[in-house]
Structure 1
Amino acid sequence: MTRFRKLGVAVVTAALAAGTLAACGGDGDSGDGGDAKTLKLWHYESANSAMGIAWDRAIQIFKDEHPGVEVQFERKAFEQIQQNAGMIINSSEGPDIMEYNKGNATAGLLSSQGLLTDLTTETTKRGWDSKLSPSLQTTARYSDKGVMGEGNWYGVPNYGEYVMVYYNKDLFTKHGVTVPTTYDEFTKAMDAFVAKGVTPLAEAGAEYPAGQLFYQLALAKADRKFVDDYQLYKNPVDFKAEPLKSGAQTFADWVAKGYVAKTSASLKAEDMGTAFISGKAPMIVSGSWWYGRFKNEIKFNWDSFLFPGNKFHAGSSGNLWVVPAGSKAKGLAYDFIDITLRPEIQALIGNNGGVPVAADASQITDPKNQKLIENFNTISQQDGLAFYPDWPVPGYYDVLVSGFQSLINGSKTPDQVLDAIAKPYGEGVKEITGK
């Protein structure tokens, strides 16, 4: 599910340049739809995905609790909603509630244009805020300029995602390598594989994985202040200082030590994933979006662990339930959101390989699923979600890909890469904030 990585804030500056409309009024405005007899609901999850299964059940519960109300559900393509959301929800043909991508360029942009309903009052009344950690709330709240992390609620997530280490238990056993629990043990384990002629980490320099590995390494020396400065523009970021300096240098060191193959500079995420699925790679550092596929396709013994030693991890809430400002059934939409946060639905997400935001881990029956959720809960409870490295500014995804390809193939030094990624970041922040 790499779609979450590339969206960033690529169009937010266009909205700011064009001028933004006042955000719509509170969720008690006209159009609450108290007497509505139809709920038009759109999402883009496949029927056999964890969310698709859970939301099908949520729709059935909604129907049972709202006799006489027709649910008109349509499964849309992600790209269809992503590219045309503003036009669609501003028309009479739009839905009353839909799944939409989080972030400045998406939910933030539409909120700043007055196209989404302010859910703040409803969130407090129904206690949705109490079910979501501060870092999960970040992607649900937007300022009047559409910048995430502050302001009113314009969406509600009910699942999450995060980056972890997947490992091949059979290869660890075959080569006599101990599963690490600390950073030092992690590097010792990789040294042991290299000594056996095995590259320990499959990587992909042509897409998001390399940038995420760099970010994980930087986060090893990060605090919440750095994350807020980098992601939310709280203060200027010095790319030649910690933690970004050590992130780039450690990445280069890992390539030099043989932890990452230089040939991976041209590989894509799919290449990395299939290398792990085929049993060729002892480990990959990547996200929970691989989990369901690995569970279905891998034939060997495998498991996962959090990036050793880190308090902060790349990750965020999943996509949001949003209510278009023009919804004719807002009250019904709020009822549906509430259902998706109930224990039954959260457990369904968890038992089908997803990462629920408010599940009781004891209700998850599969040990691997349970561990996936327990690790996410650990990160969430310590406010450890640090979002993604390409999110802050327009076009930054391509900047990071280019930078870390060159670090893998050795065409640039860590200092040169930091220079290359610092300039577009600074220019992007200035364009968004005017500072």
Structure 2
Amino acid sequence: MFRRRSRTTTIAAAAAAVAVSLTLAACSGSSSSGSGSSPEAGSGSAAAETGTLKLWHYESANGAMGIAWDKAIEIFKTEHPNVQVDFERKAFEQIQQNAGMILSSDEGPDIMEYNKGNATAGLLASQGLLTDLTEQAQSRGWADKLAPSLQTTARYDERGVMGSGNWYGVPNYGEYVMVYYNKDAFSANNIAVPTTMDEFTAAMDTFVAAGTTPICMAGAEYPAGQLWYQLALTQADRSFVDDYQLYKNPVDFQNGPTAKGAELFDQWVQKGYLAKDSASLKAEDMGTAFIGGKCPIMISGSWWFGRLKDEIKTFDWGTFLFPGAKLSLGSSGNLWVVPQASQNKDLAYDFIDITMRPEVQNLLGNSGGIPVAADPSAITDPQSAELIKNFNTLAGNDGLAFYPDWPVPGFYDVLVSAFQSAINQSKTPAEVMTAIEGPYTEGVASVQAG
């Protein structure tokens, strides 16, 4: 899903700016200016405010973002003592699959977390379901706090294509996909952290020989499609990403990185690197399997980091960037969006303000997230500092390649179905590519037609 400031702006500049923002961004003061954004900044009417702020997000309670957003809710309640906060934690799939229907009704929230990119936030924006936040982004200082690269996923044109146009969401963290590994299991099998693809496959061969399935996987949700895309990226350069994500040139799914990624995925299944019965598993199953020590490797995003820090008690673990690839999945984080039907938009804007404060951003960083407006000196947790450092390394080398479902609406479900077939071996790699090529090509044509 992502990045384009304009038709001629390169993604390279965007990714580099992410690194700058995460490395240097340090905010002064406790909040952005704007009516009601804090007791000292507002009109003094906060204590007199009444009503309900209906808020949805899908972060786990002990994940970095969940911890930070809980703190933001706490601050909001203190500063709006007569406003009730009606918070519901939703499953990612609930919002992903039903957002359009929900926001077309009167049952939606006043503010919610939503996925970024053309196929998701862009689609809802083009349908008139999201509030234009451009004026708020300027007056409340969000535009000043977010580097242009991070603003890319916040802004969409009239067709719902990201990177230009008005603001329809606010990202306030970064994310990327990495390899989580069980250090104890690696040590017990005399395996060093791999730095090349050959070393990585040799490590997995060692685990298979010892009777262990190396990779925790989930085919019923996003992880399998993300693994395919990461394998494709080992064969790709920035021009491929531009073609796949930004439609600069047609993508040949039967040749090149996409096809090679599917072939490697198939080989990994056949070699036993991931279990065939994982086709029916969800991301939560994958995560709990890794937490429980059932498999020594999980290839997934930084959104798991805080939860792993909290829940893994029986073994030592760490992370490394995917070996043999200059490009990895990654982007700004998901967006806070305000539905057009919201009855309490000013309260929603106040909540976004709070999530951007150093108090909340620093907590996010020390809890295992990647903040965008924190004081770098305030990140005291060593594991968290390493997480942020690796992201800055990736972004600084123009290594953020976005996510495979981003290009067109409905593509997420296409990828899930296709790679379930790849895991259970009901389709060949070529057949898997055929299954996704049609919807991708039709979707791109539809988006370009406007």
TM-score bin, normalised by smaller chain: 0.7 to 0.9
C-alpha distance in 2, partners of 1:210/1:326? 35
Change (3 A) 1:274 1:69: closer
Q: Would you say 1:169 and 2:183 are equivalent positions?
A: yes
Q: 2:316 aligns with which of 288, 298, 301?
A: 301
Q: Give the match for residue 195 of structure 2.
A: 181
1:343-382 correspondence runs (5 A): 343-382=358-397
1:8-407 correspondence runs (5 A): 37=46, 38=49, 41-45=53-57, 49-58=63-72, 70-78=82-90, 79=94, 82=99, 83-88=101-106, 95=110, 98-104=112-118, 106-124=120-138, 128-129=142-143, 131-298=145-312, 299-324=314-339, 334=349, 336-407=351-422
Relative to the length of structure 1, the TM-score reads 0.78
Shift in Å, 1:250: 1.8
Contact 1:133 1:381 in 2 (8 A): no
Q: Give the match for residue 425 of structure 2.
A: 410
Shift in Å, 1:176: 0.6
Q: Give the match for residue 22 of structure 1.
A: none
Query: Structure 2 regions of 5+ residues with no counterpart?
Result: 2-36
Q: Give the match for residue 10 of structure 1.
A: none
C-alpha distance in 2, partners of 1:271/1:332? 36
Contact 2:103 2:341 in 1 (8 A): no
Bigger mean CA deviation after superposition, 263-272 or 324-333 = 324-333
Q: Secondary structure of 1:285's partner?
A: strand
Shift in Å, 1:170: 0.7
Shift in Å, 1:159: 1.9
Number of residue pairs matched by the alignment: 399
Deviations 1:93-120 (A, max 9, x none): x73x554443445432443344544333
Change (3 A) 1:367 1:416: same
1:415-430 correspondence runs (5 A): 415-430=430-445
How high is the sequence identity, in percent, across the aligned residues? 65
Q: Secondary structure of 2:176's partner?
A: strand
C-alpha distance in 2, partners of 1:418/1:295? 37
For 1:167, give the aligned amino acid: Y
Relative to the length of structure 2, the TM-score reads 0.76
Q: Secondary structure of 1:246's partner?
A: helix
Shift in Å, 1:214: 0.5
For 1:422, give the aligned amino acid: E
Q: Secondary structure of 1:290's partner?
A: helix
Q: Secondary structure of 1:180's partner?
A: coil
C-alpha distance in 1, partners of 2:135/2:85? 26
Bigger mean CA deviation after superposition, 99-108 or 247-256 = 99-108
Shift in Å, 1:356: 2.0
Change (3 A) 1:110 1:428: closer
Shift in Å, 1:348: 0.8
Q: Secondary structure of 2:372's partner?
A: coil
Deviations 1:134-185 (A, max 9, x none): 5533321111122223322221111233221111111111111111233333
C-alpha distance in 2, partners of 1:369/1:425? 37
Contact 2:118 2:408 in 1 (8 A): no
Bigger mean CA deviation after superposition, 202-211 or 244-253 = 202-211
Shift in Å, 1:282: 1.5
For 2:257, give the aligned amino acid: P
For 2:102, give the aligned amino acid: N
Q: Secondary structure of 1:176's partner?
A: coil
For 1:344, give the aligned amino acid: E
C-alpha distance in 2, partners of 1:252/1:326? 45
C-alpha distance in 2, partners of 1:390/1:119? 25
Contact 1:201 1:281 in 2 (8 A): yes
Q: Give the match for residue 13 of structure 1.
A: none
Contact 1:133 1:380 in 2 (8 A): no
Query: Structure 1 regions of 5+ residues with no counterpart?
Result: 5-31
Change (3 A) 1:42 1:384: farther
Q: Secondary structure of 2:193's partner?
A: coil
